Amino acid sequence: MPSADQPVVSVRDLTVGFRTARGHVHAVQGVSFDLHPGRCLAIVGESGSGKSVTARTLVGLTGPNAEVEATGLTLDGQDLTRLTDRQWRSVRGRRVGFVLQDALTSLDPVRTIGAEIGEALRNHGLATRATVHGEVVALLEKASVPDPERRAKQYAHQLSGGLRQRALIASAVAARPDVLIADEPTTALDVVVQAQILELLGAEKAEGTALLLISHDLAVVAKLADEIAVMRDGRIVERGSAEAVLRSPSHEYTKKLLAAVPSAHPKGTRLAGPRTGEPVVSTKDVVTGPVVEVDAVSKSFVGPDGVRRTQVKDVSFALQAGRILGLVGESGSGKTTVATMVLGLLEPDTGSVRVLDRPWSGQRESRRRPFRRHIQLVHQDPLDAFDPRYTVERIVGEALAAIGRTGDRRAQVTRWLHRVGLDEQLLDRRPRQLSGGQLQRLAIARALAAEPDVLVCDEPVSSLDVSVQAQILDLLADLRADLGLSLLFISHDLGVVRHLCDDVLVMSDGEVVEAGPVEDVLREPAHEYTKSLVAAIPRIEDAFPEESRVTT
């Protein structure tokens, strides 16, 4: 074991380039850092900043097209640039553990997680056939997996996202590596589960493991990191102690990232700087009163095992005109099912839905169809939302045609693109050629082109980087103000909901457990579940409680 002031990993002037069809691309340029036992370095940056490539270099998994150069790249004094494949295998898992974002694809689908973790132990000669089961159970228990004996016999797809991530961490630390790399370990998870995973990583750090944490979210790393390096376009633009970087950032880019964290800012503040969409004053009549009324709605489904399960139980609420109602809950709590019923894509078993003071559920499709344009959807996976063969012009044009708009389609589509902050140069692009943020803006443009009164947003920002998420949240707030839209905003992220919404509805296991104005509910949560949600919001200020909040 190296002493605390001696780095386990030392990286000097690391440069990684990729040979591609379009020539040479530099993913990482001149990056240097050290990892110390029992300390955590967080590398923070947006998609494409080179942070993941940097992490992969330490386990020799940059791929055959990569050209890795460094004046120094050592693990415990051993030069990593000269390792053979065989030597790399003894480094991976044994000396450097690696936890990836997507635990479902990182775990072998045809082996139990017990076998997966057991293999890590056996490969490195740390357990025998006789002792391996006990070791596996002990590791799972240490990773706070409840009922480890039973879980060890299950397959990855039988576990929830949080349990999978824990199993993955258990297998990564099975061989007691000195270094643990976690690449976006919590990005796909609920806030509550995210908090638990971060705690688990913190425990590893406390035991003397050197931790390299990769994330796009400064609020997530705030709790764990001792040191933060901010990466952009393959370079480290700012580094320092976590406190210094979070409290007094010096680089413009770091300030922008900090400003994008919704939980750190009071309501009504813009997260991403000046507005990107063009303000347009609505010409529609102002609607008042409730636009969506959901009355005691229930829905159950028969699962693949033939057992009927209730997804939504007796849910009632009203969305008032011009308001934003947040619908919060963990995955599987029935939020999306409620949204699907509000959109009239699914019939409730009991109860009723009214839209714009008109009966909506239980109606013949021919009666409902002419009014569908009044309630539009922006959904979670932006790439799945568009016909891959269509151009941007045709995508938005489809909405225009649906409400009977004729005339110069290109001009009208351009107007809608401008309103959501997209350039008309994108008119002839196809969805695959757009970034995640552009796709989500396009989804909003298409929904708006139908000139709706209500917009249902199902996790519209959960697949986006924090900085892009900030822009989309700003855009939605602007559109509400300009067009008098009413929004049903579904999210698992209370930070986002607190920032954007007027009212909130907390769902757990298909039931509404708490409802009310967002500030009231979050300040004094009455229900246990809401309390745990509120406690789990990653906050930068929590990391340094004695200091006042970040000012930007």
Q: How far is the CB of 102 from other proteins (least distance, A)?
A: 8
Question: Using CB atoms within 10 A of its CB, is residue 3 exposed (0-12), middle (13-18) or buried (19+)?
Answer: exposed
In the complex with other proteins, the residue whose CB is nearer, 27 or 327, is 27
> Shortest approach of other proteins to residue 183 CB, angstroms?
7
Say which residue the tokens 């745990």 belong to.
532
Coil vs helix vs strand at 23: strand
Smallest distance, other proteins to C-beta of residue 455, A: 11
Q: Which is nearer to other proteins, 98 or 529 (CB)?
A: 98
Q: How far is 413 from 242, CA to CA, in rounded Å?
A: 45
Q: Which residues contact 450 (CB under 8 A, 6 or more apart)?
A: 373, 376, 399, 402, 403
Closest distance of CB 187 from other proteins, Å: 8
Closest approach, Cβ 386 to other proteins, in A, equals 5
The first and second tokens of residue 44, run together, are 């923070």
Whose Cβ is closer to other proteins: residue 381's or residue 542's? Answer: 381
Question: Measured between alpha carbons, how far is 273 from 460 in angstroms, rounded to an integer?
Answer: 20
Nearer to other proteins, 49 or 209 (CB): 49
Q: What size, in residues, is the chain?
A: 552
Question: Can you give the binding site for other proteins, defined by CB under 8 A?
Answer: 18, 20-21, 27, 47-53, 56, 61-66, 101, 183-184, 187, 343, 345, 369-373, 375-377, 379, 381, 384-390, 398-399, 402-403, 430, 446, 450
* Cβ proximity of 5 and 35 under 8 Å: no
Backbone dihedral region for residue 240 (phi beyond 0: left; psi -120 to 50: alpha; all else: beta): left
Which residue from 502, 500, 496, 452 is spatially nearest to 343, judged by alpha carbons? 452
- State which residue, 438 or 530, has the beta carbon closest to other proteins: 438
Nearest to other proteins of 294, 444 (CB atom):
444
CB of 389 to other proteins, least distance (A): 5
246 or 449: CB nearest other proteins? 449
Minimum distance between the CB of residue 373 and other proteins, rounded to whole angstroms?
A: 5
How far apart CA 429 and CA 426 sit, in angstroms, is 5
Listed residue (122, 124, 125, 120) closest to 169, CA to CA = 120
Both tokens of 368, joined, read 């409902």
Which CB, 216 or 265, lies closer to other proteins? 216
- We find the least distance from the C-beta atom of residue 231 to other proteins, in angstroms, to be 10
CB of 440 to other proteins, least distance (A): 12
- Comparison of 379 and 492: residue with beta carbon closer to other proteins: 379
Handedness of CA 490, 495, 500, 503 (dihedral sign): positive
Alpha-carbon gap, residue 185 to 480, rounded angstroms: 34
Q: In DSSP terms, which residues pair with 231 in a beta bridge? A: 236
Which residue number, 467 or 530, has a Cβ lying nearer to other proteins? 467
Characterise 278 by phi-psi region: left (phi > 0), alpha (psi -120 to 50), beta (else). Answer: beta
Q: State how far the Cα of 418 lies from the Cα of 426, in Å rounded to an integer.
A: 11
Rounded to whole angstroms, how far apart are CA atoms 146 and 133? 16
CB of 262 to other proteins, least distance (A): 21
The angle subtended at Cα 477 by Cα 230 and Cα 507, nearest 5°, is 85
- Tell me 434's DSSP state: S
- The least distance separating other proteins from the CB of residue 343, rounded to whole angstroms, comes to 6
Nearer to other proteins, 127 or 343 (CB): 343
Residue 234's nearest CA partner among 50, 80, 465 is: 50
